Amino acid sequence: MTDQPDARPYSADAALDAQGLLCPLPVIRVQTQVGQMQPGQILEVLATDPGVLHDIPAWCRVHGHEFLDSDKQGRLIRLYLRVCA
């Protein structure tokens, strides 16, 4: 987890706002969004449920996508993943 969101060597191709949603809805929304993206594209997820810090990386491992990074600023959590084939 990084404290400097601007220090990332990549930029998001799409953003998903899952703020206010509780488990399992953020993961379901990520799965839907990833299905509409191309391999190599990066998704930024905005969430407030701290469970996403475990759930999204685990979902990436299971489904073969690359979890890149996360950071937390107050209640806001940002997660980044790369869509893989």
Total domains in the chain come to: 1
State the CATH number of the domain containing residue 75.
3.30.110.40
Would the CA dihedral through 6, 8, 10, 11 be positive or negative?
Answer: negative
Parent domain of 59: 10-82
Identify whether 32 is part of a domain. yes
Q: Note the pLDDT of residue 10.
A: 83
pLDDT by 10s per residue, the chain, length 85: 544 555 778 899 999 999 999 999 999 999 999 999 999 999 999 999 999 999 999 999 999 999 999 999 999 999 999 999 8
- Total residues found in the chain within this entry: 85
Identify whether 4 is part of a domain. no
Mind telling me the catalytic residues?
A: 23
β-sheet bridge partners, residue 77: 47, 72
Q: Note the pLDDT of residue 9.
A: 80
Nearest 5°: CA angle at 8, between 68 and 50? 50
Identify whether 5 is part of a domain. no
What pTM value is reported for the model? 0.89
Q: Note the pLDDT of residue 8.
A: 77
